[in-house]
Amino acid sequence: MKADYRVFLDACVLANFGVCDVLLRLSERPRLIVPHWSAEVLAEVHRTQVGPLQWPVELADSFRAKLREAFPDAEVAGYEGLLPAITNHEKDRHVLAAAIRGSCPLILTFNLKHFPAEALKPWNICVSHPQDYLLILYEMEPKQVIACLGEIAGKRKLEVQDVLIRLGKVLPNFSQRLLDDLG
């Protein structure tokens, strides 16, 4: 194990399969992060997968089951009592409450505007775009991040550069930085 840094993953991060794949592989031993989510977040991911993303229900069910199997300690519960004290965007108050209950100092989300600094400050929690956090992880452990991308490329029968190009649609700065570094 390399790190025990607890990170709460918002539904929008888990629903983006490419980003989710990278983060969860970096959560395997030797891990850089310890991922957390709630049943409510997983339900939101499931709705997104079978709705807008048009995954078959069986595939979305399997995804959720595999997440729970691979990371049995990731699911945070018992945060509902905190909701009245939470002041961020109403739609994402459950995310902040679960991050607080799960002792996660960082929330990864694409919806940064739903987590203003003044709502996070009392709880000593930060929010980050996945791209920014992946750049930090790359700065800390470049070989491990590249190895992770190599695993993904091998599984998909692609070159690492092709994986980065695909990730570039949602993580353009991260992808460009690694592409530049790889030459």
DSSP codes, 52-114: TT---HHHHHHHHHHHHHH-TT-EE---GGGGGG--S-GGGHHHHHHHHHTT-SEEE-S-GGG
What's the pTM?
0.95
Residue 94 · residue 44 · CB < 8 Å: no
φ/ψ bin of 86: left (φ > 0), alpha (ψ from -120 to 50), beta (otherwise):
beta
Structure tokens at 89: 């965007």
Summarised one tens digit per residue, pLDDT across range 58-85 is: 999 999 999 999 999 999 999 999 999 9
Summarised one tens digit per residue, pLDDT across range 83-119 is: 999 999 999 999 999 999 999 999 999 999 999 999 9
Structure tokens at 66: 């595999």
Domains, the chain: 6-128 (3.40.50.1010), 134-182 (no CATH)
